Structure 1
Amino acid sequence: MRLLLFLATLTATSLASSVQAQDVHVKVDPHGPGSIASTTDYTTIQQALDHHPFAPAGYRVIISIVPGVYHERIIVTQNHNNITLLGLGKSPEDVVITNSLNAKTAGGTFFTETAEINGTGFEADNLTFENTAGNTGQAVAAAVRGDRAVFKHCRFLGHQDTLFADYGRQYYVDSYIEGGVDFIFGNAAAVFDHVELHANGPGYLTAQSRTDPNQPTGYVITHSTVTTSLEATLPPPAGAPGVASTAAAHNMTALGRPWRPYARVVFMHTVLPAQLNPAGYTVWKRDDPVPPLAWYAEFDNSGPGWQPTERPSWEHMLTAKEASAFEPQNFLRGRDQWNPIAAAAKLP
């Protein structure tokens, strides 16, 4: 009997060791069979997020999404870590997650997001996140509050408050973000690398919200392009304070304004349009104290909007050595030595 028990235990152990842990793969197809009882096939993205099998520690749940327009709001909860959303189309336009809520209809800005992402290690590739509320006030396309988030080949479409990049380290690469007023806002440590920021209305590209000068947060826009559908009208009137925003009056956009006192934003190696307010960064309100407590900087930008002599005296013009601290692998490294570039390279 002891011999039989020993042999059974040995066989079970051998079988267990021969089964290697691996990523979990599931699929979303609006025209598929789909069932909450299924472990592989779902008809909505949220259904897949709610019912997918969990992956072993150190592995990922990869949710592949068939091309289509998904009229739904999705939430990645805090206990769902290492989730990858992968669009199966030829381009990000082929998989669109869309909704249309603004602050008035939803009861506040932070109830409007089409996608809410709270889990650590979230990744998205080849997708569009969209809020179609338009120029009706705050309307968030994606709210990202998870550490080590990566977005590659993604589009974020909205008008005011398009992308709430609010917590943790976030890396956006080869992507497109569109909006008009404060359309990237929050207090994450986020890098936008080879991204197109498109202003579809007068306003501000960023509204970063660092609340303490010792927080390692801020936005870095590098090797990117700022474009706009605006047509610049008259320049700011002679004698106007350089830090006072003239965006609405003159159909311009600005690099950013501080949503919270110690906001930090760096634009470097980026092409800037003629429709950029010559002041670059501005204060939050016209009558706010000057200089602000915010830390704003630029380095090695180009294009007709790159006018360093027109920038306010309190803006920082970085040296090459100073700018190196804001490269993605340096700014987002953290104590765990995270390499966002390597993480993004593993995506298709």
Structure 2
Amino acid sequence: MFRLFLVPFIFLLVGLVVQETNGQYYKKVGNKIFPFSTIVVDQSGNGHFSTIQSAIDSIPFYNTNWVAIRVKAGIYRASPRRKSCDPTEQILHYIGRGLGKRKTIVEWYDPDGPERSPTFSILADNIHVRCMSFRNSYNNPINGNRKLRAVATTVSGDKVNFFRVAFYGYQDTLYDANGRHYYKLCTIQGAVDFIFGAGQSLFERCSISVIGGGFITAQGRESPNDTNGFVFKDCHIFGNANTYLGRPWRPYARVLFYKTNMTKIVEPSGWDSWSPDGREDLSTYAEYGNFGPGADTSKRVSWAKKLDLSTVENMANLNFINTPEEWINYQPF
């Protein structure tokens, strides 16, 4: 079994070159991009480190090499984070790869709000995470706790990419705070405002799992000139309780659901105003091309927007988050 793994690994090194693009160093074989170096995390002691935090801390500030942190299977009970040391820092590292959403799990138990409770925090730029799960278990029904804000992941860095990652919680599961982010084939679970923040983010082919009555999004756009907003493209909304698609955390909240499968759990009115103050028209809540029993827009709130096709296509496009650098093209997958 060891030999079967080793042979293709050696083969991949043939023709390998070190390449630099936009100040970022990685290895390239043909058209494929690979990390410059790899760190292994294994709780059993068969890796470079036994905790994710130790692996993250080993990467120096101002690092310009893509570093892969490969996390072996297991439940890691910790709250790893990496802070940027100043606004100009470019930390380039590739978190994961885990062995799958159900095999590599990072868990924390804390209800202390979005700044202090996250199971996992990303405060630096240029991060790629794949094939693992982050869970804040405080609101798990078996604990019998009063439901409080308990964040599974905070994302404040720019140019952050998640692939086949799961986020589990109840209230405020995913704090998509700031920056440009791409979530593909991810699972986000929760009940109340469980995707919230002022990120400029595209959620593509993601599963939105509702486990209690509430609101999927609470978007935080504060100005009509802000470029941020949430776009859900080709997603699936399902669960065991009725839900609203969103409510505005800030007055100019912007959310688009595009070609998404909406089951009957979506409330007919679609959106909630949070606290009616006559400013509902400032928000941009839109739907386009959705399907399923929850996608009927005939009873939606009067202040839901009908965007023109050009605007919809611009938002539901990778360029919504990828320009001008086309940064996703230069992340080693």
TM-score relative to the length of structure 1: 0.79
Alpha-carbon distance, 1:321 to partner:
2.4
| 2:32 counterpart residue number | none
CA contact (8 A) 2:285 2:304 kept: yes
- Contact 2:247–2:273, Cα closer than 8 Å, also in 1: yes
- The answer to whether 1:70 aligns with 2:83 is no
Deviation at residue 293 of structure 1 after TM alignment = 1.7
Deviations 1:101-123 (A, max 9, x none): 013xxxx4421101110111111
Structure-2 residue corresponding to 1:278: 268
Following TM superposition, by how much is the alpha carbon of 1:290 offset from its aligned partner in structure 2, in angstroms?
A: 5.6
Q: What are the residue-to-residue correspondences of 1:259-270 with 2, within 5 Å?
A: 259-270=249-260
Aligned partner of 1:87: which letter? R
Distance of aligned partners of 1:324 and 1:140 in 2 relative to their CA distance in 1, 3 Å threshold: same
Distance 1:46 1:83 in 2: 13
SS in 1 for 2:84: coil
Alignment RMSD (CA, Å): 2.1
Residue 300 (structure 2) pairs with residue 300 (structure 1): no
Distance 1:262 1:290 in 2: 9
What's the TM-score once normalised by structure 2's chain length? Answer: 0.83
Structure 1 gaps of 5+ residues are 1-17, 35-40, 231-251
Offset, 1:210:
0.7
Match of 1:258 among 236, 242, 248: 248
Please say if residues 98 and 130 of structure 2, whose CA atoms lie closer than 8 Å, have aligned partners that are also in contact. no
| Structure 2 CA distance for aligned equivalents of residues 267 and 19 of structure 1 | 40
Q: Kindly indicate whether the alpha-carbon contact (under 8 Å) linking 2:258 and 2:316 is maintained by their aligned counterparts in 1.
A: no
Distance of aligned partners of 1:114 and 1:19 in 2 relative to their CA distance in 1, 3 Å threshold:
closer
1:32 positional shift = 1.3
Deviations 1:1-45 (A, max 9, x none): xxxxxxxxxxxxxxxxx99865121110111166xxxxxx00000
Does residue 1:202 correspond to 2:213, yes or no?
A: yes
- Deviation track 1:233-292 (CA, whole Å, cap 9, x = no partner) reads xxxxxxxxxxxxxxxxxxx2000000011111000110111111111111012x432634
1:333 Cα offset (Å): 2.9
Aligned to 2:127: 122
Shift of residue 55 of structure 1? 8.8
Distance across 1 between alignment mates of 2:124 and 2:282:
32
Give the distance between the partners of 1:338 and 1:307, measured in 2 at CA: 36
Please say if residues 324 and 330 of structure 1, whose CA atoms lie closer than 8 Å, have aligned partners that are also in contact: no
Q: Deviations over 1:120-173 (max 9, x none)?
A: 111100010110011621000000000000000000000000000011100000
Give how far 1:56 is off: 6.1
> Which residue of the partner structure matches residue 49 of structure 2?
42
- Find the residue that maps to 1:113 and give its secondary structure: coil
The correspondence of residues 142-161 of structure 1 with structure 2, limited to 5 A, is 142-161=153-172
C-alpha distance after superposition, 1:161-195 (max 9, x if no partner): 00000111000001100000000000010110000
Aligned to 2:225: 214
Distance in 2, Cα, partners of 1:28 & 1:298:
42
**Cα distance in structure 1, aligned partners of 2:317 and 2:118:** 26
Hey, what's the Cα distance between the residues in 2 that align with 1:66 and 1:19?
A: 26
Higher deviation after alignment, 127-136 or 200-209: 127-136
CA distance in 1, matches of 2:91, 2:185: 23
Question: 2:96 aligned to 66, 86, 94, which one?
Answer: 86
Are residues 1:30 and 2:40 paired? no
Paired AA for residue 323 in structure 1 = V
**Post-superposition offset of 1:339:** 5.1
In terms of mean alpha carbon deviation, does 306-315 or 260-269 score higher? 306-315
Q: Contact between 1:206 and 1:257, CA under 8 Å: does it hold in 2?
A: yes
Change (3 A) 1:88 1:295: closer
Alpha-carbon separation, structure 2, partners of 1:56 and 1:114:
24
The amino acid that maps onto 2:94 is: T
Give, in whole Å, the separation in 2 of the partners of 1:121 and 1:197: 25
**Equivalent of 2:326, from 334, 338, 342?**
338
Find runs of 4+ consecutive structure 1 residues off by over 3 angstroms. 18-22, 52-56
8 Å Cα contact 1:194/1:225 also seen in 2: yes
Distance 1:48 1:72 in 2: 13
Aligned positions, number: 293
> Do the aligned partners of 2:245 and 2:266 also contact (CA within 8 Å) in 1?
yes
Q: Paired residue for 1:141, among 152, 155, 158?
A: 152
Using the TM superposition, give the Cα deviation of residue 49 of structure 1 relative to its aligned residue in structure 2, in angstroms: 0.6
Please state if 1:175 is matched with 2:186. Answer: yes
Q: In structure 1, what is the Cα distance between the partners aligned to 2:135 and 2:63? A: 32
Instruction: Give unpaired runs (5+ residues) of structure 2.
Output: 1-16, 20-24, 27-35, 140-145
Measured against aligned partners, the alpha-carbon deviations of 1:72-115 in whole angstroms (never above 9, x if no partner) come to 000122157222122342x2110000001013xxxx44211011
**For 2:209, what is the secondary structure of its paired residue?**
strand
Q: 2:107 aligns with which of 87, 90, 98?
A: 98
Tell me if structure 2 keeps the 8 A contact 1:194–1:222. Answer: yes
Q: Which letter maps to 1:330?
A: N
**Structure 2: how far apart are the matches of 1:179 and 1:275?**
14
Deviates more, 1:149-158 or 1:293-302: 293-302
